[in-house]
């Protein structure tokens, strides 16, 4: 695999996002909602950089199944979401690829009448975008390549990597041993 973004590049940019989010919410209580499982690492690092009062929750969304690298049917589950009515919500996902996941989750959360809703992602593949909406915050724009690490996986592997890497053809055939 080939490293696309280093651990230090990610750490620096996540800290900057936390500072920007802190400034934008200026002490207003915030509900941070992570999309399982890919955003867990980003959420853990980002909430430590947000210096405004906040709580956190998680929802599920998945469009990849097994060892595929192409999208399937999008399935969402908001069972872990508390009452968002009248609250400021920041939805966090690992990657904005086609945009269908964030758009769908945003629609479902907006239906619950939050005071505001913004979205943050670590990675944005602009050339793959299929929806009109876009994230309010993003750390890096990346090319259309299948990436793993820092929470992103391939068939359940590679989430633990502290950097973002592009999988090569040989990597797709063998599980991670890193």
Q: Which residues are catalytic?
A: 97
Tell me how far apart the alpha carbons of residues 27 and 24 are, in angstroms, rounded to a whole number.
Answer: 9
* Residue 173 buriedness (CB in 10 A; 0-12 / 13-18 / 19+): exposed
Counting every residue written for the chain, the total comes to 178
CA angle 163, 168, 140 (to 5 degrees): 35
Contact 141, 32 (CB under 8 A): no
Judge contact between 120 and 94, C-beta under 8 A. no
CA dihedral sign of residues 38, 33, 103, 130: negative
């Amino acid at each position: 695999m080939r490293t696309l973004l280093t651990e230090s590049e990610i750490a620096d940019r996540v800290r900057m996002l936390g500072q920007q989010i802190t400034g934008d919410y200026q002490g207003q209580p915030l509900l941070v909602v992570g999309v399982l499982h890919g955003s867990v690492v980003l959420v853990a690092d980002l909430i430590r950089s947000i210096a405004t009062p906040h709580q956190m929750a998680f929802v599920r969304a998945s469009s990849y199944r097994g060892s595929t690298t192409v999208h399937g049917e999008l399935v969402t589950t908001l069972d872990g979401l508390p009452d968002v009515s009248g609250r400021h919500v920041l939805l966090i996902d690992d990657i904005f690829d086609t945009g269908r996941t964030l758009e769908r989750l945003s629609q479902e959360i907006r239906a619950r009448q939050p005071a505001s809703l913004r979205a943050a992602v670590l990675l944005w593949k602009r050339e793959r975008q299929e929806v009109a909406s876009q994230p309010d915050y993003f750390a890096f724009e990346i090319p259309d390549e299948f990436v793993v690490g820092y929470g992103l996986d391939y068939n359940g592997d590679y989430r633990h990597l502290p950097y973002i890497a592009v999988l090569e053809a040989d990597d797709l055939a063998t599980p991670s041993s890193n």
